[in-house]
């Protein structure tokens, strides 16, 4: 006969005791979670904390102001010389909070899903575009990107540059705020490409959809384009026509830059410094669209390329100077100094325009003095006078700084 396993009364008692201990442990853990200071805070406050940990709005860190020397120099010289860029911003997500406990996971997951993510599938024959190196902040790639299922726009980009290699593909996710950067990188690549745009937002989110899709109107010269989603047929047709249109000429692009600069100048006159700075930065970005006209692969005469490069670099220099001046006027001296130094790096070292060096060194000296760094200010003003010895105002400023140091003021920042 087969045997049957039996449990003695003592074993039964031990099993019940073990079960009770497990239940008690779990209930104690739930009570501890409920009694924790974090869980006792109102849900509204917890949601704000989740946003600072998981939303693209609060986790992004911009670099354009932190390191203008790199971010202004490389668009100026780097694009011409072919140097790679880094992303203009990064996102510091903290997803580990999702594994704290079940309740926090449910609460915080909604914040993560509220992000407007864009999923990009890139199919390439031959060499493609290194979007992240060219400035696009990528949140996730390949396997990790495939796990993000809350994207509101899905892009399929096919790049065919005539190579005979086997096609390869990659998947990446970036924030909806960076669609403009994606479009700029694609536009400047000058590679033959086709683009499909799938919008996942419902009809009730039409306003959000149109705002997200607005940067795609910058694109042009695509081989084919397709748009799906709950958008009107008229809007789809208009955007497709824009994607397939012929590229604008150099004069058109540079005129848009000049118009944006004028808007910044007016805002500066009105003492609206944040708007002025924003317009100047936009003009600096738009100026990069002129870069391709100075590139070697553009089919135009040698004189035209030299002219395009001169106009392009001249705009970059003017905008660095305007940003340095505006930051000075708004009393943001640290950023003023950085933009002044970035302007110096843009100047052609073999140029005879020594007065350009003098102007930027003078701006840097003004910022240094305002920061209390009198020694550095005197050195920078001395360089300015060296570059332009006929400028009596700079010479007088240098004499004043030297007298101030001799009077015992020293570097106030270190005091």
Does some domain include residue 400?
Answer: yes
pLDDT at 261: 96
Q: What is the pTM of this model?
A: 0.70
pLDDT at 140: 82
Does some domain include residue 51?
Answer: no
- Do 243 and 145 fall within a single domain? yes
Does some domain include residue 111?
Answer: no
Does some domain include residue 27?
Answer: no
- Do 130 and 215 fall within a single domain? yes
pLDDT at 77: 39
Residue where a domain stops, chosen among 200, 228, 247: 247
pLDDT at 64: 55
- Do 256 and 399 fall within a single domain? yes
Does some domain include residue 123?
Answer: yes
- Do 259 and 386 fall within a single domain? yes
**Reading across the β-sheet that carries 225-228, which strands appear in turn?**
138-141, 168-175, 117-125, 151-160, 193-199, 225-228
Does some domain include residue 187?
Answer: yes
- Do 235 and 295 fall within a single domain? no
pLDDT at 39: 87
Residue 274 maps to which CATH number?
Answer: 1.25.40.10
What residue numbers bound the domain in which 178 lies?
A: 116-247
- Do 140 and 266 fall within a single domain? no
- Do 183 and 272 fall within a single domain? no
Residue where a domain stops, chosen among 247, 271, 304: 247
Does some domain include residue 155?
Answer: yes
- Do 196 and 302 fall within a single domain? no
Does some domain include residue 221?
Answer: yes
pLDDT averaged over 10-residue windows placed end to end, the chain, 415 residues? 44 48 48 69 91 86 55 40 54 84 88 85 81 83 79 87 73 89 85 88 62 90 91 92 89 91 97 96 85 53 67 90 96 94 84 86 96 94 95 96 85 49
pLDDT at 294: 52
Residue where a domain stops, chosen among 186, 220, 247: 247
pLDDT at 71: 43
- Do 299 and 212 fall within a single domain? no
- Do 279 and 241 fall within a single domain? no
pLDDT at 224: 93
- Do 257 and 382 fall within a single domain? yes
- Do 259 and 232 fall within a single domain? no
C-alpha to C-alpha distances, 196 to 116, 216, 222, 240, 246, nearest whole angstrom: 18, 11, 11, 10, 18
What domain count does the chain have? 2
């Amino acid at each position: 006969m087969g045997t049957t396993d039996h449990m003695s009364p003592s074993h039964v008692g031990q099993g019940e005791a073990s079960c009770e201990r497990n239940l008690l442990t779990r209930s104690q853990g739930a009570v501890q979670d409920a009694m924790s200071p974090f869980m006792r805070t109102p849900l509204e406050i917890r949601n704000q904390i989740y946003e600072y940990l998981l939303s693209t709005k609060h986790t992004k860190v911009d670099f354009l102001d932190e390191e203008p020397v790199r971010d202004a120099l490389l668009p100026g010289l780097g694009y011409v010389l072919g140097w790679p860029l880094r992303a203009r911003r990064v996102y510091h997500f903290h997803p580990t909070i999702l594994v704290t406990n079940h309740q926090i996971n449910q609460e915080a997951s909604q914040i993560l899903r509220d992000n407007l993510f864009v999923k990009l599938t890139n199919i390439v024959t031959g060499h493609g575009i290194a979007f992240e190196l060219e400035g696009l902040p990528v949140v996730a790639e390949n396997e990790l990107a495939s796990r993000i299922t809350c994207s509101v726009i899905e892009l399929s980009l096919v790049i065919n540059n005539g190579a005979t290699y086997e096609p390869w593909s990659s998947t990446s996710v970036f924030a909806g705020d960076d669609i403009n950067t994606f479009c700029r990188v694609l536009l400047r690549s000058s590679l033959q490409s086709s683009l499909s745009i799938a919008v996942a937002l419902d009809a009730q989110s039409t306003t959000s959809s149109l705002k997200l899709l607005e940067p795609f109107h910058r694109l042009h010269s695509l081989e084919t384009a397709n748009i799906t989603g709950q958008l009107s047929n008229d809007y789809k047709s208009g955007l497709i026509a824009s994607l397939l249109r012929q590229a604008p000429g150099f004069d058109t692009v540079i005129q848009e830059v000049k118009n944006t600069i004028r808007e910044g100048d007016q805002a500066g006159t009105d003492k609206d410094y944040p708007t002025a700075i924003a317009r100047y930065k936009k003009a600096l970005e738009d100026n990069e669209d002129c870069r391709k006209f100075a590139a070697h692969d553009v089919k135009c005469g040698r004189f035209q390329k030299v002219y395009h490069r001169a106009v392009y670099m001249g705009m970059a220099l003017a905008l660095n100077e305007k940003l340095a001046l505006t930051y000075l006027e708004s009393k943001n001296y640290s950023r003023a100094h950085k933009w002044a130094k970035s302007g110096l790096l843009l100047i052609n070292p073999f140029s005879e325009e020594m007065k350009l060096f003098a102007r930027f060194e003078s701006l840097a000296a003004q910022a240094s003095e305002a920061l209390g760094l009198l020694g550095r200010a005197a050195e920078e003003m001395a360089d300015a006078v060296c570059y332009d010895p006929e400028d009596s105002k700079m010479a007088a400023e240098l004499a004043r700084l030297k007298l101030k140091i001799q009077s015992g003021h020293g570097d106030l920042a270190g005091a």
